[in-house]
Amino acid sequence: MSAIEQKTVTADEAGMRLDRWFKAHYPGMGFGRLQKLLRTGQVRVDGKRAESNTRIAKGQTVRIPPLGVELPANDKKNAKPKSSKLMADDKAAIEDMMLFEDNHVMVLNKPAGLAVQGGSGLKRHLDGMLEAYTNKKGEKPKLVHRLDRETSGIILVAKTRKAAQELTKAFRHRNTRKIYWAMLAGVPKPHQGRISTYLARSEEMERMRVARHGDDEAQHAVSLYSVFEKSAQKLSWVTLKPVTGRTHQLRAHAAHIGHPIIGDDKYFNIENWELPGGIQNRLHLLARRIVIPHPSGNGMIDVSAPLPPHMQQTWNLLGFDVTDYDPDVDDPE
């Protein structure tokens, strides 16, 4: 059995939630297992009990009991190195995703179906692919936020520790504008609105549930929506803006108001609803646009991603034209 470990929080990890820190270091460990370890005091920060949403600071020590899970994602000593061909393939794939790049940051267009981080049974994921961009100092570009596996669109990657700190700070202080496009079942009324609930993780499935204030692990979640186009009363093209950044927030909120996202296998909750012919039963959710202060302190990063093929097919079928869309006018505020 492995011994107890003590890991020190690095500068670029400062401000992370403890559960996200664990996800990055131990992708094979489930959320429920971590909760049990926290409840029983086996995981501690600087010798004190902690919760999953505890924010960690540079230099703090995290106590880790024997876990029996796969190697930490950043443990290179026992990891089998990738072949040069695999590294070249990963680099080429990331170059195909590239929407913007400079010395500080990369903005990628993640395809639907590609996982952002590793997990049980996953051999290829974006975090691992970024090893192909490791510099001479051994520093790998760092993901600063996440997208669900089946969600396509904008992913921001920091190329330096300093950039990671600044971008993470911008997300934490909500100095970031994120716009999503989705195709919903039906047409929300009113056509513009605000969704405010508490969300908590459902124990029996990898999904979130609407909870009550004060429920265990419940977190306040706020989303804004605006209907841009509709097809009769059957479908609607909606822009979504997450004010907070909870897991599955937009998907859970869309289902909560009775208009789940087309192709959502976790949250689509309308019985006997038939998908119109010609539309693929895949998640119709795109991280369309991000506007965030540049980590150098000079100007803004403002990048948009195109529709993925399965969503473009739906837009074509319904006669929706993305060139009609003016993001500065039509994005919900």
Q: For residue 275, how many other CB atoms are within 10 A of its CB?
A: 13
Instruction: Give the model's pLDDT for residue 327.
Output: 54
Instruction: Give the model's pLDDT for residue 103.
Output: 92
Instruction: Give the model's pLDDT for residue 214.
Output: 83
Please give the Cα distance from 15 to 321 (Å, whole number): 41
Q: Which tokens hold the place of 325?
A: 């869309």
Instruction: Give the model's pLDDT for residue 119.
Output: 67
Please give the Cα distance from 196 to 205 (Å, whole number): 22
Instruction: Give the model's pLDDT for residue 120.
Output: 60
- Residue 330 phi/psi, 5° resolution? -100, -15
Instruction: Give the model's pLDDT for residue 215.
Output: 85
Please give the Cα distance from 31 to 52 (Å, whole number): 9
The verdict on whether 215 is a catalytic residue reads no
Q: Which tokens hold the place of 267?
A: 């949250």
Low-confidence residues of the chain: pLDDT under 70: 1-2, 12, 28, 68-83, 119-121, 204-205, 326-333
Please give the Cα distance from 128 to 143 (Å, whole number): 11
> By the 8 A CB rule, do 62 and 43 touch?
yes
Asked if the peptide bond before residue 72 counts as cis, ω within 30 degrees of 0, the response is: no
Q: Which tokens hold the place of 147?
A: 């997208």
Cα angle value 66/69/74 (rounded, 5°): 100
Sequence length of the chain is 333
Instruction: Give the model's pLDDT for residue 52.
Output: 85
Contacts for 315-320: CB closer than 8 Å, 24+ residues apart: 315/237, 317/276, 317/278, 317/279, 318/229, 318/231, 318/235, 318/237, 320/229, 320/237
Catalytic residue among 19, 90, 127, 148: 148
Alpha-carbon torsion (158, 108, 297, 143), positive or negative: negative
Question: Helix H segments across 9-158?
Answer: 18-25, 31-39, 84-97, 126-129
Instruction: Give the model's pLDDT for residue 85.
Output: 72
Q: How close are the terminal C-alpha atoms of the chain, in Å? A: 53
Alpha-carbon torsion (55, 59, 62, 66), positive or negative: positive
Instruction: Give the model's pLDDT for residue 136.
Output: 75
